[in-house]
Amino acid sequence: MRKVLVLILVVAYGFAFAQTEVRVWHMEQPPYRVERMQELIDAFNAANPDVRVVQEVQNWGDVVPLALGAVRARIQPDILFTIPDFTVTMRATGAVQPVTELAERLDEEHGFLDAAIDPYTYDGEVWAVPMYGMVMSLWYRADVLEDAGIDPPSTWEELLEAAEALTGDGRYGIGIPGSRSLYTDQVIYNFMITAGAEDIFDEDGSIRFDNPETVRAFEMYERLYQYSPPDSVNWIWGDAEAAFAAGQVPMIVQFTVITTFDQQTDEPADNLQVVTIPVPEEGGQRGNIYYSNAAMILTTDEDRRDGAERFLAYLLEPETYGRFLTMEPGLFLPVTADGQDAATFWEDPLVVAYGAQVETMIENSQYGALFGFTTGQVFDEIGPISAQNLLSQVVQQMVVTGLSPEAAVQWGQREMEDAAP
């Protein structure tokens, strides 16, 4: 009888403390980001003993084939952080679950920015929960421009004149990439937006890349690139930040350089300044690339789905949300109305020190766009176009192969049509 009682108690104890494991894949590899994420996970797990969230860190260079392989093997994570074109690719597998009801509830509680949730809303559903935004701007060293008698550029011609004037004595006027990479895709797209060439697709889904506005943007990029360091043909994000911090270039187009500038220079915060992307003198428009990073749910298991939804809701609670965003202060921007006022965001030491710069970035995010997601419709063809970094390949046709901007854009039109027939 005693053995039966003990067995009953053991079983009851197990049921009372049974845990559902929720696996989270994200691509924020820097150790301090991983550490902050773990702090938030630990706090959630402590408050939710029936759920055990586990983070599994990936990288953007490998995550697409890894995620596709995991789905084929039926070992995909329960939560997968994403960007809009990655979501399109993953949706084609059938593994991505709609999160419409969750997103609507969180929108009522916190107020998603339209630019954050729109790229994930199509075919009558919401496919990922927006988590943070990233916006590109023109960053510059204020002391260098001031010493040269140069005002912060607001037009393309002013930017070209500044880049030329600042080039010399081992220094280059600006740093922009020429590599086959997502970074180059992002930087050139800023110039496409300001030239009025933000739409890659027509409303019927046909490719409209080859047009005068696109050619104009690539002509500007070619002219500007002559004032960029020779090794920028291989640059990705960190290379540009390092060159900026080292003083090799006084201007770059980047999401942020706050952490790098603060850690790698002895300069005061006022020497780091940021403005919106310069625009053409005629026929231009204000704008910049904006990424809403989000979280997909890839499980159909009821308990794991419940745990995943609770964890994402927890991250968006204002007190938690500020700490989530400041795992990289000044890079991750709020995607909710109440998140923009979160004390835990604005009280972070780096955000305090660079508060004016962060405010400019938040303002710039109101003018954000993303290639393939500008017409109010989402076409599956953006997946292969983005996966092949075709925008950056067009840049390389100019800066490496030597094609004219017009010929390079014509080449890009053909490649996009072949990639997305």
Three-state DSSP class for residue 400: coil
> In the chain, what percentage of residues exceed pLDDT 70?
96
Query: Does the structure show a pLDDT above 80 at 420?
Result: no
Query: Does the structure show a pLDDT above 90 at 298?
Result: yes
- Terminal CA-CA length for the chain: 72
Tens of pLDDT, residues 76-98: 999 999 999 999 999 999 999 99
**Domains in the chain with CATH codes:** 16-133+290-355 (3.40.190.10), 135-289+369-419 (3.40.190.10)
Question: Which of 407, 397, 406 has the alpha carbon at shortest distance from 178?
Answer: 397
Q: What is the pLDDT averaged over residues 238-267?
A: 96
Structure tokens at 264: 């790698």
The per-residue b/e assignment along 352-374, b for 16 or more CB within 10 angstroms, e otherwise, is: ebbeebbebbeebbebbbbbbbe
The angle that helices 405-419 and 212-225 make with each other, rounded to 10 degrees, is: 120
Query: Tell me, what's the pLDDT at 216?
Result: 98
Query: Tell me, what's the pLDDT at 3?
Result: 53
CA pair distance 194, 188, nearest whole angstrom: 10
Structure tokens at 137: 């701007």
- In which band, very low, low, confident or very high, does the pLDDT at 421 lie, cut at 50, 70 and 90? low
Query: Tell me, what's the pLDDT at 13?
Result: 47
The pTM for the full model equals 0.90
Q: For residue 391, which amino acid is it?
A: L
Query: Does the structure show a pLDDT above 60 at 68?
Result: yes
Q: What is the pLDDT averaged over residues 253-260?
A: 96
Query: Does the structure show a pLDDT above 90 at 293?
Result: yes
**380 or 228: which leads in pLDDT:** 228
Task: Kindly report the average pLDDT of the chain as a whole number.
Answer: 94
Question: Which of 346, 319, 322, 344 has the alpha carbon at shortest distance from 335?
Answer: 322
Query: Tell me, what's the pLDDT at 1?
Result: 53
Query: Does the structure show a pLDDT above 50 at 150?
Result: yes
- In which band, very low, low, confident or very high, does the pLDDT at 15 lie, cut at 50, 70 and 90? very low
CA pair distance 28, 131, nearest whole angstrom: 13
Query: Does the structure show a pLDDT above 60 at 112?
Result: yes
Query: Does the structure show a pLDDT above 50 at 317?
Result: yes
> In the chain, what percentage of residues exceed pLDDT 90?
90
Q: What is the pLDDT averaged over residues 338-361?
A: 96
Query: Tell me, what's the pLDDT at 6?
Result: 46
- What is the Cα 222 distance to its own chain's centre? 25
CA pair distance 259, 265, nearest whole angstrom: 10
Question: Which of 106, 44, 28, 18 has the alpha carbon at shortest distance from 320?
Answer: 44
Query: Tell me, what's the pLDDT at 337?
Result: 95
Query: Tell me, what's the pLDDT at 50?
Result: 97
Query: Tell me, what's the pLDDT at 14?
Result: 47
* Cβ atoms of 73 and 95 closer than 8 Å: no
Q: What is the pLDDT averaged over residues 305-319?
A: 98
Contacts of 142 (CB under 8 A, 6+ apart): 152, 270, 271, 272, 273
- In which band, very low, low, confident or very high, does the pLDDT at 2 lie, cut at 50, 70 and 90? low
Query: Does the structure show a pLDDT above 50 at 36?
Result: yes
CA pair distance 320, 109, nearest whole angstrom: 14
Q: What is the pLDDT averaged over residues 344-355?
A: 96
* Cβ atoms of 378 and 372 closer than 8 Å: yes
* Cβ atoms of 345 and 321 closer than 8 Å: yes
Query: Does the structure show a pLDDT above 70 at 49?
Result: yes
Query: Does the structure show a pLDDT above 90 at 356?
Result: yes
